[in-house]
Structure formats: C-alpha cells, structure tokens
C-alpha cells in the first residue's frame, strides 16, 4: 500500500488581499507552499506527492522542487476551475492502485504538525479513511444580523486537511459528483455522499488555513518565533 499526497494549489487566493496567490508568498525567505511540501517530504509514511497547480506556475514549482530537494514530488498536473476538479485531475493521474491511500491537503495549511499527519495516516490505514478535524471550543450561533439560535457544540467540529481515503473510494466519489454536476466543499463531503462512513481524526489549531492577510501575519509571527 502506497501513500500518495495530493496538494491542490491552483487557487487564486484573492481573499488574502495579495496580488500573488497566497501559496507562493514568501515568508522568511521561503514560499508558503514549500513549508507545506516539506512536511510531506519528511514524513516516512508518504511515498509520493502530486501537486495540482495553474499552468503559469509550473516553472516556478519546478524551480522550488529542485531548490529545496523535494524529491517526493513526482508529478505536477494542471488544476481545474474548482478545487474539486484539481483534486480529480491529480487523483486520476496518480497511477495509484485500488487500496493505496490518497492524502489530500491544502497547500495553504503550512503548519501541519508532523504527528497529526502521521496519526491520520495510521488511522486511515486502520479504518479505511481519516478526516482531520478539531473540536469546536467557542460558543456557536446561527443567524444573520441577529442571533437566531445557539448551537450545541458538543458534536461540532471544524474540518481541516489532510483528508485521507482509499484511491478506489475517492475516485468513485469524484466520478459520481462529476456525473451528477455536484460540487462539494471538500473530499469528505463527496465520500460521505457516496455512502461511506467518514472517520474523524484529531487535528490541531496550528493547522489553520492561510486565507486572509491576518492569517498571513499570524503565520509570519509563528514562523519567526520558531
């Protein structure tokens, strides 16, 4: 059984407020996507990495792969118009076998702790899949301009990545969604929609997604403090 990491990195990153897609921003002299890729490069359970990116950034990625000796990155594929299409392109091109594990992880979650990655892979090997999440701690409300309702947070989780599934299961879920013109927010939604139970694995508050300028600044401060 191989473990293949898929890193969708085709987003424009408009919400970050920068002209450059956030995954290519340099923080402390190194691009955000490099921090992400190095985590998978170092993990002994990961066999191969596939990046889905915009064609305009292929040359930049190749230079980064060479510069930082990211030898596990075996393939760069063109991303689609949605994250789902980008993941599909990478999974379809992976040459994986039926029971290989596909580990989908956001390029902009650059502080994924090593132990969270390792434990989620081991959980997926045991249970067939793993969805990394953190339990809600804050008071949660439902409403618009005013509070309509307070939600019971006891069974509420914030979904993160990695999201890990058997190749045959994830591909089937992606094909079903494509056939039915359904676009989900993430891979776990597609797999659950295909009739499979999705197992929750423990995440980390450090594993936040860099989306806004505030996120970029928080990431900068954490990295600078290390």
Q: Which residues of the chain have pLDDT under 70?
A: 11-17
Measure the CA–CA gap between 154 and 169, rounded to whole angstroms: 29
Measure the CA–CA gap between 37 and 216, rounded to whole angstroms: 17
Which neighbouring-strand residues pair with 31? Answer: 26
**Who contacts 148 (Cβ-Cβ below 8 Å, separation ≥6)?**
141, 142
Q: Determine which helix (DSSP H) or strand (DSSP E) holds 151, and give its type and residue range.
A: strand 147-151
Q: First vs last Cα of the chain: how many Å apart?
A: 35
- Region 3-224: CATH code: 3.90.550.10
pTM of the prediction?
Answer: 0.95
Determine contact, residues 84/174, Cβ cutoff 8 Å.
Answer: yes
Q: Where are the domains of the chain?
A: 3-224
């Amino acid at each position: 059984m191989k473990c293949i990491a898929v890193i969708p990195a085709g987003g424009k990153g408009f919400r970050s407020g920068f002209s450059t897609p956030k995954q290519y921003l340099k923080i402390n002299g190194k691009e955000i996507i490099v921090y992400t890729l190095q985590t998978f490069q170092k993990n002994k359970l990961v066999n191969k990495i596939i990046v889905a990116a915009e064609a305009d950034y292929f040359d930049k990625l190749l230079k980064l792969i060479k510069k930082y000796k990211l030898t596990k990155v075996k393939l760069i594929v063109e991303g689609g118009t949605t994250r789902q299409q980008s993941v599909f392109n990478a999974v379809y091109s992976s040459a994986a076998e039926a029971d290989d594990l596909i580990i989908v992880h956001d390029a902009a979650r650059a502080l994924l702790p090593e132990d969270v990655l390792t434990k989620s892979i081991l959980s997926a090997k045991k249970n067939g899949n793993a969805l990394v999440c953190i339990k809600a701690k804050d008071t949660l409300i439902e409403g618009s301009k005013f509070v309509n309702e307070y939600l019971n947070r006891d069974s509420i989780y914030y979904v993160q990545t990695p999201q890990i599934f058997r190749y045959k299961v994830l591909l089937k879920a992606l094909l079903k969604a494509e056939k039915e013109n359904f676009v989900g927010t993430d891979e776990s939604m597609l797999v659950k929609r295909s009739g499979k139970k999705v197992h929750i694995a423990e995440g980390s508050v450090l594993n936040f997604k860099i989306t806004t300028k505030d996120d970029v600044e928080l990431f900068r401060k954490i990295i600078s403090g290390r």
